[in-house]
Amino acid sequence: MTGGADSSSSAAKRAKVEAANRDELLRKLPAELWQKIVDENVQQNDLFALAMTCRFFREKQKDLGKKMVTDLNTDHLFELQESGEVASHTLGWFQWVCDTFEILPGFEAPVSRFGSKRVKGAVYKGDLVNYAAFQGSVEILRWLVEEKGWETNWRTGEWAGMSGSIEVLEYLKERGYEFNVMACAGAARGGHLKALKWLRAQDPPCPWDERTCALAAKGGHLGVLKWSRSQDPPCPWGGETCGRAAREGRLDVLQWLRSQDPPCPWGEWTCSEAAGGGHLDVLKFLRSEDPPCPWDEMTFANAAEGGHLDVLKFLRDQDLLRPWSESTCFGAARGGNLEVLKWARSQDPPSHWSAGTCHEAVRGGHLEVLKWLRAEEPPCPWSRNGCRFDASYSGHHHVVNWIDQQEDESDLEYSDWEYSDRSYDSYSDESL
């Protein structure tokens, strides 16, 4: 018995020493090698799970200043899917999430300028159900709904549509799910014509609205657009359809939209979206039509915010008679585009600025832009107290520290600063 005990003890000691040696070797791996291993073998949405289970990887990621997040935001997942980087997570991954994190009902609250209601470290049932639908996995969806007892929600059909999985759509139908307009919109966004046809073939057909055409245009899915418009009655469309195509630089889609009888509607927003996306070829097409697509000061502002100096120069060459609007400087400051701001102010006459220009720089945390604005002669007007408040509220403490060091007697009243801020926001269209 003694010999057996000694043998077991020796084996345990050897295992402990070997583990310590492995730990030491892992610690000696340079951070760059860790990053190479991860980049070649681990997809973005698995980084957080790996960090939770491997302290060495977690340490190296911190050394490199890398963020480790699993982002279930629709746009992020769709970008990964379109790039071919997103791999379906297994049922085991979903089970690990449920066993590891606090699970809350509903969805992750969207972030607003007044802060987010998201509970740090928590995962939301609605997000996981929809993610399973997005992956096209009936197995995982069934486990969440039937074994965990979680419910589908008003957006589950949309995520299923984006997956293009007829199998998932059929499963939802069997469960009594009522599809809404977002299901067709999701299928159109993903370019999944078969899924869209399935939805419209139901009795009654899944409803659709302008978002179906708009999101098909956004994704450049001309085949989906053509089929949708060939139906009787055709799928509705409107200004958003041309706007989405313009934002993404879908020139072929725009040309088709405008060749229809009657053509798809457009307006000032179409040009401003093309400018915001930096698509000079699209903007030239829009303005070359007879009559040309209209534009306004927001076309300049969006180009400035996006840092698209070539677009701004084209706009200025085409429209020298239009007085400069302060929204151009607002946009450049909001986007942190100092070179664009310098160019706009170097023109004759220079683009107008106001206290709102400083405010936009502050809200984005663009300290170098703010410094330049205040160093000009004469300096750009500001509300020192208003800017300090907004910098503090936005968490830009480096901006707060700089403002505290400034002494200025020309400080505007807070009400003047507020008015300037609203004058830019009133032009913004974030509803789409």
Q: How confident is the model at residue 75 (pLDDT cuts 50, 70, 90)?
A: low
156: nearest Cα among 148, 144, 147, 33: 144
The tens digit of pLDDT for each residue in 331-388 reads: 999 999 999 999 999 998 899 999 999 999 999 999 999 999 999 999 999 999 999 9
Distance CA 130, CA 374 (A): 48
User: In the prediction, which pLDDT does 324 show?
Assistant: 73
The tens digit of pLDDT for each residue in 218-246 reads: 999 999 999 999 999 999 999 999 999 99
Q: What per-residue string of b and e applies to 256-293 under the rule 16 or more CB within 10 Å gives b?
A: bbbeeeeebebebbbbbbbbbbbbbebbebbbeeeeeb
Over 60: is that where the pLDDT of 418 sits?
no
Contact between 94 and 140 (Cβ < 8 Å):
yes
Distance CA 77, CA 185 (A): 16
**In this structure, what CATH number is given to the domain that contains residue 362?**
1.25.40.20
Higher pLDDT, residue 262 or 44: 262
User: In the prediction, which pLDDT does 113 show?
Assistant: 39
Residue ranges making up the domain that contains 387: 321-432
User: In the prediction, which pLDDT does 374 show?
Assistant: 96
User: In the prediction, which pLDDT does 92 show?
Assistant: 86
Over 80: is that where the pLDDT of 409 sits?
no
318: nearest Cα among 337, 341, 294, 338: 294
User: In the prediction, which pLDDT does 381 show?
Assistant: 95
In a domain, 64, yes or no: no
Least confident residue range of 40-49, 96-105, 174-183, 353-362: 40-49
In a domain, 376, yes or no: yes
Distance CA 54, CA 60 (A): 10
The percentage of the chain sitting over the pLDDT mark of 90, rounded to a whole number, equals 61
Contact between 180 and 157 (Cβ < 8 Å):
yes
What tokens does 319 get? 């429209």
User: In the prediction, which pLDDT does 97 show?
Assistant: 85
Higher pLDDT, residue 321 or 296: 296
Tokens 């300090």 identify what position? 388
What tokens does 304 get? 């400035």
Over 80: is that where the pLDDT of 114 sits?
no
Over 80: is that where the pLDDT of 392 sits?
yes
Tokens 């879908």 identify what position? 250
Least confident residue range of 133-137, 382-386, 396-400, 408-412: 408-412
Chain Cα centroid distance, residue 388 = 28
Radius of gyration of the chain (CA): 27
Q: How confident is the model at residue 109 (pLDDT cuts 50, 70, 90)?
A: low
The neighbour count for residue 8, using CB atoms within 10 Å, is 10
Mean pLDDT for 267-290 is: 96
Higher pLDDT, residue 88 or 167: 167
* Residue 68 main-chain phi, psi, to 5 deg: -120, 95
DSSP per-residue codes, 362-378 = HHTT-HHHHHHHHHSSS
Over 60: is that where the pLDDT of 44 sits?
no
Mean pLDDT for 298-317 is: 95
In a domain, 417, yes or no: yes
User: In the prediction, which pLDDT does 417 show?
Assistant: 44
Distance CA 308, CA 278 (A): 6
Cis-peptide into 291, omega within 30 deg: yes
Over 60: is that where the pLDDT of 399 sits?
yes
DSSP symbol at 265:
P
Contact between 283 and 274 (Cβ < 8 Å):
yes
DSSP per-residue codes, 367-429 = HHHHHHHHHSSSPPP--HHHHHHHHHHTT-HHHHHHHHT---S-PPPHHHHHHHHHHHHTT--
User: In the prediction, which pLDDT does 428 show?
Assistant: 35
In a domain, 360, yes or no: yes
Cis-peptide into 204, omega within 30 deg: yes
130: nearest Cα among 92, 158, 108, 99: 158
Type and span of the H or E element at 328: helix 327-335
Distance CA 147, CA 153 (A): 17
The neighbour count for residue 11, using CB atoms within 10 Å, is 10
Mean pLDDT for 273-290 is: 96
Number of domains in the chain: 1
What tokens does 15 get? 């295992």
Chain Cα centroid distance, residue 180 = 23
Over 90: is that where the pLDDT of 74 sits?
no
Mean pLDDT for 185-189 is: 97
User: In the prediction, which pLDDT does 426 show?
Assistant: 35
As a whole number, the mean pLDDT across the chain is: 83
User: In the prediction, which pLDDT does 424 show?
Assistant: 37
User: In the prediction, which pLDDT does 123 show?
Assistant: 84
In a domain, 149, yes or no: no
User: In the prediction, which pLDDT does 96 show?
Assistant: 85
Contact between 86 and 45 (Cβ < 8 Å):
yes
What tokens does 228 get? 């949708």
What tokens does 267 get? 């307006």
User: In the prediction, which pLDDT does 373 show?
Assistant: 97
Contact between 177 and 156 (Cβ < 8 Å):
yes
Distance CA 270, CA 243 (A): 4
User: In the prediction, which pLDDT does 420 show?
Assistant: 41
In a domain, 185, yes or no: no
Cβ contacts of 82 within 8 Å, gap of 6 or more:
none
Contact between 57 and 27 (Cβ < 8 Å):
no
